[in-house]
């Protein structure tokens, strides 16, 4: 047997395949570890405005970047080292300057919907609560909204960018109610959070009346403050559990909306039934929620599937279970969503997907 034949035999041996497979697994795990660490750095960079600073500067030293951002140079320099080795910032070793790569800038800086550093902050929040969530694996139940530091601000920042970019021009046409909104109708948003969608609609359609409902007092206060700042007289906000909407809501609305608000409810089936009951006979319900499937095997090719299951485990499912609820979870999927809409009494359910927002599915449901 020649040396070449011997090497060929070794390459096809079970031991060789096991070694190659093991190396591939190790590389995969190390890659995950590295990417997780980069998520932390990106979250810090977003919170401190470092990416926005880099986007505005020409190639600059760590001292210049820290000074422009109003930060400590030593921390800034170490952070830059991580971002450079992540391949997001270019480093000139001769001049010791750093520059944000132009093709990366839209995805890491600015107020637009393409800035993914806002979404990455959810990963850092997951890390903050992971020990508490791990304990719930042993005891059952879940966490309260109050146990998630900064969650409302993170969610509001992300939804604000999406709504600013697409709500009026792309989402409202999906409802088929643009002309009715201009003429004047009554609209309710359930799980309104900080109310930016409500306020945008109220400003764009002054002849219509809008009301937002949310469980938590902090986002309601923020919603009212924005409405006051904008001088809106046709937008009001109420703190309440949308599973027990007031009796006067029955048959009171021409349009009901829910933006990423159903899957983490204590009783999502009742909330959907309430949305149906709140509509007038010619009304409609717009429900926006994560674009995923109800079965794990159907999510294997979904680029953001692992993120959806992670945020569900650490937040969305947990806050529902923490209230003694259904724990539907972020990955309830479009199939279950359609089934539950029909079970709530909607006879006409149509799902839309928007190019501007691939993360979400848009359901139009009518009585």
Q: Which pLDDT tens digit goes with each residue over 170-184?
A: 999 999 999 999 999
DSSP bridge pairs for 258: 287
- Summarize pLDDT for 29-65 with one digit per residue, the tens: 999 999 999 999 999 999 999 999 999 999 999 999 9
Distance, CA of 36 to CA of 53 (rounded, Å): 23
Using 50, 70 and 90 to split pLDDT, how confident is the model at 10?
A: very low
Give the pair of three-digit tokens for residue 216.
Answer: 């938590």
**Residue 168 in 3-state DSSP?**
helix
**Average pLDDT score over residue span 182-204:** 97
DSSP conformational letter for 5: H
Write the CB contacts of 298 (distance below 8 Å, at least 6 apart in sequence). Answer: 333
SS3 state at 299: helix
Q: What is the pTM of this model?
A: 0.88
**Residues 221, 204: Cα–Cα separation, whole Å:** 21
Residue 291 near residue 361, CB atoms below 8 Å: yes
CA distance 191 to 168: 19
Residue 23: count of CB within 10 angstroms of its CB: 10
> How high is the mean pLDDT of the chain?
93
Beta bridge partners of 214: 239
């Amino acid at each position: 047997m020649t040396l070449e034949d011997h090497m060929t035999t070794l390459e096809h041996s079970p031991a060789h395949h096991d070694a190659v497979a093991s190396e591939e697994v190790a590389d995969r795990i190390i890659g995950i570890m590295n990417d997780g660490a980069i998520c932390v750095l990106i979250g810090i960079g977003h919170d401190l405005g470092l990416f926005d600073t880099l986007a505005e500067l020409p190639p600059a030293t760590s001292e210049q970047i820290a000074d422009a951002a109003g930060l400590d140079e030593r921390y800034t320099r170490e952070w830059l080292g991580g971002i450079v080795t992540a391949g997001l910032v270019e480093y000139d070793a001769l001049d010791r300057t750093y520059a944000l790569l132009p093709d990366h800038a839209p995805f890491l800086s600015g107020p637009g919907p393409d800035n993914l550093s806002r979404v990455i902050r959810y990963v850092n929040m997951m890390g903050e609560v992971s020990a508490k969530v791990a304990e719930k694996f042993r005891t059952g139940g879940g966490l309260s909204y109050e146990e998630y530091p900064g969650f409302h601000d993170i969610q509001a920042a992300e939804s604000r960018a999406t709504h600013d970019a697409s709500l009026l021009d792309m989402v409202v046409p999906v409802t088929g109610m643009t002309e009715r909104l201009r003429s004047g109708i009554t609209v309710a948003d359930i799980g309104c959070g900080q109310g930016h969608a409500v306020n945008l609609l109220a400003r764009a359609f002054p002849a219509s009346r809008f009301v937002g409902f949310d469980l938590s007092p902090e986002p309601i206060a923020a919603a009212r403050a924005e409405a006051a700042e904008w001088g809106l007289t046709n937008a009001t906000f109420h703190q309440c559990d949308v599973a027990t909407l007031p009796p006067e809501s029955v048959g009171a609305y021409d349009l009901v909306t829910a933006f990423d608000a159903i899957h983490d409810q204590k009783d999502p089936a009742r909330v959907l039934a309430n949305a149906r009951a709140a509509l007038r006979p010619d009304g409609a319900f717009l429900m926006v929620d994560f674009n995923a499937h109800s079965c794990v095997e159907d999510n294997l090719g979904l680029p953001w599937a692992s993120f959806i299951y992670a945020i569900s485990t650490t937040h969305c499912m947990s806050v529902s279970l923490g209230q003694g609820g259904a724990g539907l979870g972020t990955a309830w999927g479009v199939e279950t969503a359609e089934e539950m809409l029909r079970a709530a009494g909607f006879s006409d359910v149509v799902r839309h997907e928007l190019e501007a927002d691939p993360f979400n599915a848009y359901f139009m449901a009518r009585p």
